[in-house]
Each structure stands twice: as C-alpha cells, then as structure tokens.
C-alpha cells in the first residue's frame, strides 16, 4: 500500500501542481474582472432568487431543487473531513486559501450555471442534458468535442471511483464505527440500499430528497458549529490572526521547512476548497441544466450561491472550530479530528451529533454525484447507459466497505477532480465573452421591466 500511495501522490502532485492552480485562480480572476465583481455586488440578489425565482421555463425541476441537488453534491465530507485534512496538511493558513478559492469560485460557478442553461439540450426521454460536455461541444465548436468526451469520461469515473462514492462512504463507515461501533460492511450495505431507493427514480427523485434534507442538515451543522465558536469566543480573534499569519508567511518564500509549509497551505487550501465547493470542476452545471428557467443568467446567480453557502459559511465553521479548540495539533485525522472538536464542547454527545451530520452530508453527496455521473455516461453512450451506470454506482457504494487508507481515498478523489477541471476551465475561458453578453442581456431586461 505505501507504493500505491506514493504512486497516487505523484500523479496528484502533477495534476494539482502550479498549472492547475494558475488555471483555477486565473479563470476566477478573469471572470471576476469581466463580470465586474458579480460575487460582491450581485450576491444579495442571488440569495433572494433562491426563493423568488419564477420557475416558468422548460426543465426537469425548480431552480431551488436544482440548487439543492448541486448543494447535495458539494456539501459533503469535504466540509468536514476535507477541511480537517487541509488544516492538518497545510496548517491553519490553508483555510485562508480556501476562502480565496471560494471568492473567485463564486464568479466561476456563476459562469458554469449560466452556460449550462445557454447550451443545454434534452435527451430522447425529454430530460435535460447539460454541463461542460454540452457547452464545450456547442459553445467552443465540434473540433473541441474531444474535450467534452474527456470531461464526460472523467466525470463518470469520478462518480464511481472518487468523490461520489469512496470518499463519502469511507467517511460514514469510519464515523459510525468510531461513534457507535457499527460494522463497516453492514453500514455500507445500508447506505447502498438507501441510495438505490432514491437514484433509481432519476433526477426528480434525487432533487425531491435533496430539497428535503439539504436545507435542514446545513442549518443543524452550522448551529452546532457556531455553538463551538461561541463557547470559545475569546479564541476567535487569535484564530483569525493565526490563519492570516500562516497564509502570508513571507519568510516561507525563502525555502526550507517554512517554504514547504507555505506551499502546502496554498495547495491544500485551494485543492480542498475546490473539492468542497466544486467551482471550476464542472459538476454543478450538470444539475443547473435541469432547472426550469427562461434566463441563463438567472440560473447562474442561483448557482453561485452554492459556493458561498458551502465554503464561506460551512467550511469556515469547521475550520474555525478545529483551530479555536486546538484539536488540529493532536494526533486524530479526518472525521475523528472534527469529532474531537465537537466532543470538546458538547461532551459525549458531540461525536454523535457530528456523525449524524456527516452521514447526511455524505448521503446527499452520493445522490448528487450519481446524477452527475449518469448524465456524463448518457452523453458518451446515450440513454441506454443510464440504468447500467446506476447499478454500477450502487455496487461501488456497497464495495466501499473494503476500506482503503484515508490518504489513498482522497488522492483518488483529487486526481479524478483535477482531470475533470482542465477541460471545463478551458471552456470557461473560451466562452467568457458569451457569459458577459448573456449577463448584460439579463440585467438590461431587468432594468426595462422596472421602468
């Protein structure tokens, strides 16, 4: 297993090296500038649209359910285990770089949501088919279709092998084993059975369950997380100071041990931030394409709230909880690290609270990624691939009980994520003018109806 870990780490290092960081952050900067800081000036409007969108266009589900499906996939173990891994690997400074990635990622997510509607089509059954594979082929042109196919292949694999199944189930079975002593194999079978009940019903079933669970689970987790910060309110200013000090440790530029810490803070912060909110990854626009709306820009605004909720709110609560309780300096890792923070404040019941939250986060992420992978498989192979992919996905969830080390699981997830991101980011840069034009049309329309 050490040989496998070393091999995966090498691949992961190449994929998430300097070119990826430059492309991710550069795309976010480009869109932020071209859209005139849309994540600052239009965020209040976007948050309002979550509840006031008219849902009068064609599509499979409402904009709210579409957002919940996307949030179901993004609000997962990355918010608990991923943040803990980032802080352990890159230090508290990694949280700052998660924030930077999220700020720029809001503009990126807006562009993804907009393009998903602008270039979506419908399959033989009348179900929406959109996302990077469609806007790459239709927006960039047929000569770029190979990138669309690559994205779809990587997306289908990411669902089955990485972010959709192994990381989520691995976290759940470990948490339930640690908190309740449940058998890992049987826990995985129960999760697989519940997943089967939902995903075999398609997007409408997934969206309905997501809309029922996601808002409640987010509110519950943030409530208990804020309780930790209130209990340690005196340490909060020092925690922020530590985050910024380690994020801007300019002595690190000189090299040596501090240099490696500085680099690790940036790399793990950005990588875990993208793993959590998926901005630039190209997954969320697959769900956005199913929304009932006339205006592509309107769905873009609704989509971008997902990054704000996921990282700026939920990941921040997790990261600050780890720092103010000082548990990140201990020996625990993954979900057990965040459990320790909850236990420090809530006593024996703390780990149980987190286990329930983790189970809900992971379960909804499994549902969201089942839809993403299925749509990717449908793009490549047609609707005949839908049922086989769903069955393969359920099997992958069940087999996740055959546990791999945590580092191996996360390395595989990072690799598949990165392979998805490259084609998507190229398309976002190439289609940035389309995003600007569609945005201008939408706000001109709003201005005209207000006169």
Q: What is the pLDDT of residue 5?
A: 75
Q: What is the pLDDT of residue 180?
A: 83
Structure tokens at 247: 């994020």
* Average pLDDT score, the chain: 86
Confirm whether pTM is higher than 0.85. yes
Q: What is the pLDDT of residue 262?
A: 53
- Do the Cβ atoms of 345 and 228 come closer than 8 Å? yes
pLDDT tens by residue, 428-442: 999 999 999 999 999
What does the pLDDT profile of the chain (451 residues) look like in tens digits? 677 778 887 887 788 777 887 888 899 999 999 999 999 999 999 999 988 877 677 777 888 888 888 888 888 777 877 788 788 877 888 889 889 889 999 999 999 999 999 999 888 888 888 899 999 999 999 999 999 999 999 999 888 887 788 778 877 887 788 778 888 888 889 999 999 999 998 888 998 999 999 999 999 999 999 999 999 999 999 999 999 888 877 544 344 444 455 566 676 777 667 666 778 888 889 989 988 888 899 999 999 999 999 889 999 999 999 999 998 887 777 777 888 889 889 988 988 888 888 888 888 889 999 999 999 999 999 999 999 999 999 998 988 766 566 677 777 777 887 888 899 999 999 999 999 999 999 999 888 876 6
Structure tokens at 166: 């192994």
Q: What is the pLDDT of residue 63?
A: 85
Q: What is the pLDDT of residue 21?
A: 79
In order of their start, the domains of the chain are 61-450 (1.20.1740.10)
Report the sign of the C-alpha dihedral through residues 357, 362, 365, 366, in that order.
Answer: negative
Q: Which residues of 285-319 are buried (b: 16+ CB within 10 A; e: fewer)?
A: bbbbbbbbbebbbbbbbbbbbbbbbbbbbbbbbbb
pLDDT tens by residue, 395-429: 989 887 665 666 777 777 778 878 888 999 999 99
Q: What is the pLDDT of residue 257?
A: 42
Q: What is the pLDDT of residue 44?
A: 94
Q: What is the pLDDT of residue 114?
A: 96
Residue 340 vs residues 55, 311, 316, 407, 433: alpha-carbon distances, Å = 43, 21, 17, 20, 48
C-alpha to C-alpha distance for 389 and 376, rounded to whole angstroms: 10
pLDDT tens by residue, 139-148: 999 999 999 9
Taking CB atoms within 8 Å and a gap of at least 24, the contacts of 213-217 are 213/72, 213/360, 213/363, 213/364, 214/68, 214/71, 214/72, 214/75, 214/364, 215/68, 217/75, 217/357, 217/360, 217/361, 217/364
Q: What is the pLDDT of residue 405?
A: 65
Q: What is the pLDDT of residue 358?
A: 83
C-alpha to C-alpha distance for 153 and 74, rounded to whole angstroms: 20
């Amino acid at each position: 297993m050490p040989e496998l870990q070393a091999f995966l780490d090498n691949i992961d290092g190449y994929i998430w090296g300097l070119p990826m960081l430059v492309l991710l952050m550069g795309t976010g900067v480009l869109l932020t500038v071209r859209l005139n800081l849309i994540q600052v000036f239009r965020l209040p409007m976007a948050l309002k649209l979550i509840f006031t969108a008219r849902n009068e266009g064609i599509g499979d589900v409402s904009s709210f359910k579409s957002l919940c499906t996307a949030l179901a996939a993004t609000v997962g173990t990355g918010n608990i285990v991923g943040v803990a891994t980032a802080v352990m690997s890159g230090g508290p400074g990694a949280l700052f770089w998660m924030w930077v990635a999220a700020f720029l990622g809001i503009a990126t997510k807006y562009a993804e949501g907009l393009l998903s509607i602008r270039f979506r089509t419908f399959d033989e059954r009348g179900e929406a088919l959109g996302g990077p594979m469609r806007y790459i082929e239709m927006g960039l042109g047929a000569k770029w279709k190979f990138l669309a196919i690559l994205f779809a292949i990587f997306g289908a694999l990411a669902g089955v092998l990485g972010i959709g199944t192994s990381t989520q189930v691995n976290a759940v079975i470990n948490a339930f084993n640690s908190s309740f002593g449940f058998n890992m194999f049987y826990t995985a079978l129960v999760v697989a059975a519940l997943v089967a009940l939902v995903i075999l019903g398609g997007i409408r079933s997934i969206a309905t369950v997501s809309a029922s669970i996601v808002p409640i689970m987010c509110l519950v987790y943030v409530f208990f997380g804020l309780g930790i910060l209130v209990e340690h309110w005196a340490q909060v200013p020092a925690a922020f100071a530590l985050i910024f000090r380690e994020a801007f440790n300019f002595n690190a530029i000189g090299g040596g041990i501090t240099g490696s810490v500085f680099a690790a803070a940036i790399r793990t912060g950005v990588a875990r931030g993208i793993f959590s909110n998926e901005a630039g990854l190209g997954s969320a626009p697959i769900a956005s394409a199913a929304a009932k709306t006339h205006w592509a820009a309107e769905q873009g605004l609704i989509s971008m709230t997902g990054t704000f909720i996921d990282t700026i709110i939920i990941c921040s609560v997790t990261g600050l909880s780890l720092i103010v309780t000082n548990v990140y300096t201990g020996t625990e890792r993954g979900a057990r690290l965040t459990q320790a923070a909850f236990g420090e404040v809530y006593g024996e019941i703390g780990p149980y609270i987190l286990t329930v939250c983790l189970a809900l986060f992971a379960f909804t992420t499994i549902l969201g990624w089942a839809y993403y992978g299925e749509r990717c498989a449908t793009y490549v192979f047609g609707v005949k691939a839908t049922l086989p992919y769903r069955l393969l996905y359920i099997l992958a969830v069940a087999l996740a009980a055959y546990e791999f080390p945590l580092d191996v699981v996360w390395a595989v997830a990072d690799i598949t994520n990165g392979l998805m991101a490259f084609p998507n980011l190229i398309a976002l840069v190439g289609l940035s003018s389309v995003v600007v034009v569609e945005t201008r049309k939408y706000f001109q329309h709003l201005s005209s109806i207000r006169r």
